Amino acid sequence: QMGFAENQVSFDLLEAWLDEHPEASICQEGKTTFRDTAPHQDYHGLPAFRESLARFMELVRGGKVRFDPDRIVLTAGATAANELLMFCLANPGEAFLVPTPYYPGFDRDLRWRTGVEIIPVHCNSSNDFQVTSSALEEAYHEAKQKNIRVKGILVTNPSNPLGTTMERKTLKNLLSFASEKNIHLICDEIYSGSVFLPPRFRKYAEVLQASGRPNDSDRVHIVYSLSKDLGLPGFRVGAIYSYNDTVVTTARRMSSFSLVSSQTQHFLACMLSDEDFTKKYIKENKKRLRKRHRIMVSGLQKVGISCLKSNAGLFCWVNLTQLPPSENIDGEIKLWETILYEMGLNVSPGSSCHCIEPGWFSVCF
């Protein structure tokens, strides 16, 4: 299974911590903790968990920015966070611009229940699939031609499926474009703690602090989750961090449909507040991801296959354009079927990520 982004490389570190800290489980604490966590909880989430999550978000971003726990809205995973922002920021029939290639699940997460449209911002290999101002303008113009109102841009940084981080210049250009069009900017940063090679991760909170344009902060919303950096997708823990008071208030009211269990919050508050552990975990996890990435890339190179230079996440964006029959989308799907049924490897064809160049594949390591 090489088409499924799940980080299990550091489970042993989590298990070792749990062995040493049985107090993190309400079952070990007896009646007192059980009575504290079993009743209805504040929809804002447990204060101890929001505080520890804010500090962890700062840690994985290198301590360059600060996060206010009162601006964190908890959700049942990043999927719920992204959908909730769609409900808050757009009406049915309105749209968000999303640079390609993008996470295939966005077609489901952003659209199915909200009625919001996705307008792809087509990027290509000529500049390593970086989003450009001209591509943004082209997508925005396409939406206007269809009488679709654009309400914002959504980007993933680090990128799923590219495994790359955006340059500061690109982040500033996106923010300038959003400001010029008076639209919102959502940055999905769920892999922010999984950057294992230079260049270092540039985050929107850092760009905002250095921009000297405080009015732009109201249009920026960050999505985070513990599914990837900590490898806990089954815990269903996500968060929205917004600089917009109205969005925070509205999202918090709507979050009652996707709450995080109090037991989960209690456990994670204990773990994330152990800063000695979290620092060691992030360092070791990056080391292990870096090793896996090196093994994958070198193995591909040995058989003459190249991939996009990447430095984050769980992905290699692999170039199979030289292999027949990948000259068009139909050929790409035939090649994918060959890889799946004859080689027994499940990878993701680029067309599933709306890549306009046939022959690229996303491979998880």
- pLDDT above 70 for 28: no
- 3 pLDDT band, cuts 50/70/90, is confident
Neighbours of 87 (CB within 10 A): 16
Residue 228 annotated as catalytic: yes
Mean residue pLDDT across the chain: 92
- What is the DSSP-derived secondary structure letter of residue 174? H
Pairing of strands 348-349, 315-319: unpaired
Residues of the chain with CATH 3.40.640.10: 22-274
How many whole angstroms separate alpha carbon 16 and alpha carbon 2? 27
Residue 203 annotated as catalytic: no
Instruction: Check if the beta carbon of residue 311 is closer than 8 Å to that of residue 163.
Output: yes
Q: What would the pLDDT profile of 313-354 be if each residue is shown by its tens digit?
A: 999 999 999 988 778 999 999 999 999 999 999 999 999 999
Q: Where are the extended beta strands (E) located within 284-324?
A: 306-307, 315-319
Residues of the chain with CATH 3.90.1150.10: 277-364
- What is the DSSP-derived secondary structure letter of residue 195? B
Residue 213, pLDDT score: 67
How many whole angstroms separate alpha carbon 103 and alpha carbon 236? 18
Instruction: Please name the helix (run of DSSP H) or strand (run of DSSP E) that holds residue 187, with its range, or none.
Output: strand 184-188
Residue 177 token pair? 């474009």
**Active-site position among 102, 103, 191, 241:** 103
**In sequence order, which residues have a C-beta less than 8 Å from that of residue 248 and are 6 or more positions away?**
71, 73, 240, 242
Residue 103 annotated as catalytic: yes
**Active-site position among 140, 216, 224, 228:** 228
Q: What would the pLDDT profile of 60-90 be if each residue is shown by its tens digit?
A: 998 888 999 999 999 999 999 999 999 999 9
**Active-site position among 183, 186, 190, 222:** 190
Q: Classify domain 22-274 by CATH number.
A: 3.40.640.10
Residue 132, pLDDT score: 97
Residue 119 annotated as catalytic: no
pTM of the model: 0.92
**Active-site position among 140, 153, 186, 188:** 188
- 260 pLDDT band, cuts 50/70/90, is very high
CATH of 277-364, one of 1.10.260.40, 3.90.1150.10, 3.40.50.300, 3.30.70.2740: 3.90.1150.10
Provide mean pLDDT across the span 220-232. 96
Residue tagged 């058989």 (tokens) = 303
How many whole angstroms separate alpha carbon 268 and alpha carbon 266? 6
Q: Quick one: angle between helices 245-254 and 78-89, nearest 10?
A: 120
Provide mean pLDDT across the span 107-125. 97
